[in-house]
Amino acid sequence: MSGLARRLAGELIRSGVRHAFGITGSGISYDLIACLEDSGVPFYPVAHEAAAALMAGACCRDGRLRAAAIGIKGPGLANFIPGILSNRYEGRPALTVSESYSSAAPAYYMHKRADHAALCGPAAKGYARLDRELRSVGLLAELAVQEAPGPVHLDISDEPEREPQIRTHPDGESGLPHREDGGRAFERILEAVERSRKPAVVLGSMAARRLGSIRWDRLGVPVLATAAAKGCIDERSAFFGGLVTGEAGKLSPERNILREADLIVGIGLRNTEVVRPIRAEAEIVIVDNAGHELSEGFQASAVAHPFDMEAAGEELARALSAKSWGEELLRRYWREVDRELFREAWLPALALRDVQERLHGKETILVSDTGLFCTIAETVWKARQPSEYCGSGNGRFMGTSVPTAIGLAVSHPEAAIVCLAGDGGIRPYWAELRLAAELRLKLFVLYMSDGGYGSIRRAAASRAGSGKPVEIAGSSWYRPMKAIGWEAVRVRSYREFRRALERADLDFPGPLFMEMAFDKTGYTSMTANLR
């Protein structure tokens, strides 16, 4: 093993890496993986590099660098890109590492002529080549966790650069925000809270990373969250107001809760965490610790960037605690939502409710892919804290739930991981499920099938065409799952589901797969009024 690989492994561990995923090459990446394993960092070989980046991102979902994905030059890095991009959307500071040619290597020597920096540019938050003193590792790790956190990439070769040079994404998110009026903006926000009679709070994911000690459920006013911030408030609380997405359906929190408020206080509320910025008759104010560009579009009357975010959050929570309203409004609202969710005898809402009840008392993390069932999951599954839910809340990136769930099962071996996938999302990384069987992970996959792309079918219902683009032939997977070592069952009614759930061994001697087939019509319409 090369001395460089051993030094690099030590530097990665000092930067926080505890798990590694990927596909090794025959050069320095092989030596690096061997050195990591010698130092107690396990390596998990995957079938596709994008899955490795997603698995590493799952380990870093709390905004801390904890994992790396390792691969080869050229095609290996190109395959990383979908996973890196998803990690960028979700603010997960995973590190990807690729073998590369030295910057001094002539072009005729490079049989895989890919410009790594150009490939990483739109997706990664930062990029660097390894330098002789390995300072680029620490610099990238530091950049990755700064608000807004995101993935970084390191190129390694046997001939490191003289000096570290970090390239950052040009959108400016990694820069320090401009401080406004020496704190005057925050004073204006406190004054707005004092004037208000019915303030409501909307939490972004920053609240989970920086303000986790605040009990938002005890404020006595409605507290909502973005999908990326699900669990920042205990969702069993009488004051939880639902998830804000910017899509204002008949039963959306925007239309039913926020329109009753006279002030909306955004805490870490960012335009990257909603489909479109909230537009409300009420005044909007925002407190955050990232650049101004992330609060654009909300038409906020004041945006504050306190130097001490924790102290500002505590002060704001005290000011809001002096108000009291909304408990009866929220009670009526959730009654209406439940009436909508459970109006039919066999749809995903019933299954998710029963699975959460069955797993009560166990440490459980729900991982959701994107699709109509994702909207249901975000509404039905009651997270008490951010660690109990992990989804593609920002990117809505189809196919991410399988590798994300495997990454969480590896990094949280004591937790029961429940993975939701649909007809489209089960397919891209199906081969990775063989790894879950080999490792005997505590993983429960709920495969929700209506035979096609349900959300696209709903959107295309009024358009001309054969309908074939939204249908998927051969959508049943439970027999192939058995063939690769999973316990698997198929259910087609609520009665069959209850019987299968009662029989399932949720102490998880190995992974479980439950295929649930639903009626197309009911499935397609189940979220029509929610968003």
CATH number of residue 388's parent domain = 3.40.50.970
- The two three-digit tokens of residue 140, written as one number: 């990238």
Pair 51, 129 in one domain: yes
Q: What is the pLDDT of residues 260-315, one digit of tens each?
A: 999 999 999 999 999 999 888 899 999 999 888 999 999 999 999 999 999 999 99
Output the domain CATH number for residue 294.
Answer: 3.40.50.1220
> Which of 124, 143, 168 is the C-terminal boundary of a domain?
168
Q: Are residues 327 and 346 in the same domain?
A: no
Tell whether 496 and 347 lie within a shared domain: yes
Q: Could you tell me if residue 353 is inside a domain? A: yes
- The answer to whether position 287 is within a domain reads yes
How far apart, in whole angstroms, are the C-alpha atoms of residue 127 and residue 155?
8
How many structural domains are present in the chain? 3
For the chain, the residue count is 531
Tokens of 526: 């189940």
Last residue of a domain, one of 291, 306, 331: 331
Report how far Cα 208 is from the mean position of its chain's Cα atoms.
Answer: 13
366, 512: one domain: yes
Same domain membership, residue 516 and residue 379: yes
CA separation for the pair 118, 100 (Å, rounded): 13
Model pTM greater than 0.75? yes
Q: Could you tell me if 333 and 250 are in contact, meaning their C-beta atoms sit under 8 angstroms apart?
A: no
Judge whether 22 and 43 are in contact, CB under 8 Å.
Answer: yes
Q: Does 263 lie in the same domain as 363?
A: no
* Residue 173 included in any domain: no
Give 205's DSSP letter: T
Instruction: Please list the pLDDT of the chain residue by residue as tens digits (531 residues).
Output: 589 999 999 999 999 999 999 999 989 999 999 999 999 999 999 999 999 999 999 999 999 999 999 999 999 999 999 999 999 999 999 999 999 998 888 777 777 788 999 999 999 999 999 999 999 999 999 999 999 999 999 999 989 999 999 999 765 444 444 445 547 999 999 999 999 999 999 999 999 999 999 999 999 999 999 999 999 999 999 999 999 998 888 999 999 999 999 999 999 999 999 999 988 889 999 999 988 899 999 999 999 999 999 999 999 999 999 999 999 999 999 999 999 999 888 999 999 999 999 999 999 999 999 999 999 999 999 999 999 999 999 999 999 999 999 999 999 999 999 999 999 999 999 999 999 999 999 999 999 999 878 777 766 666 666 677 778 877 899 999 999 999 999 999 999 999 999 999 998 899 999 999 999 888 998 998 998
Residue 57 counted as domain residue? yes
Sheet containing strand 240-244, edge to edge, reads 240-244, 223-226, 199-203, 263-267, 283-287, 302-304
Q: Is the bond leading into 56 cis (omega within 30 degrees of zero)?
A: no
Is the domain of 188 the same as that of 158?
Answer: no
Residue 176 lies in a domain: no
* DSSP 8-state class, residue 179: P
Domain, as residue range, for 495? 342-525
- Per the domain annotation, does 259 fall within a domain? yes
Residues 6+ apart with CB under 8 A from 115: none
Going by their DSSP bridges, the two strands 416-422 and 389-391 should be labelled as unpaired
Tell me how far apart the alpha carbons of residues 500 and 487 are, in angstroms, rounded to a whole number. 12
Residues 319 and 417 both lie in one domain? no
The answer as to whether 207 is a domain residue is yes
Q: Which pLDDT score is estimated for 173?
A: 47
414 CB-side CA count, 13 A = 3
309 and 389 co-located in one domain:
no
Domain ends where: 331, 366, 391?
331
Domain assignment of residue 530, yes or no: no
- One domain, residues 62 and 106: yes
Question: How far, CA to CA in Å, does 208 sit from each of 79, 202, 321, 377?
Answer: 31, 13, 19, 20
Does 132 share its domain with 219?
A: no
269 and 380: one domain?
no
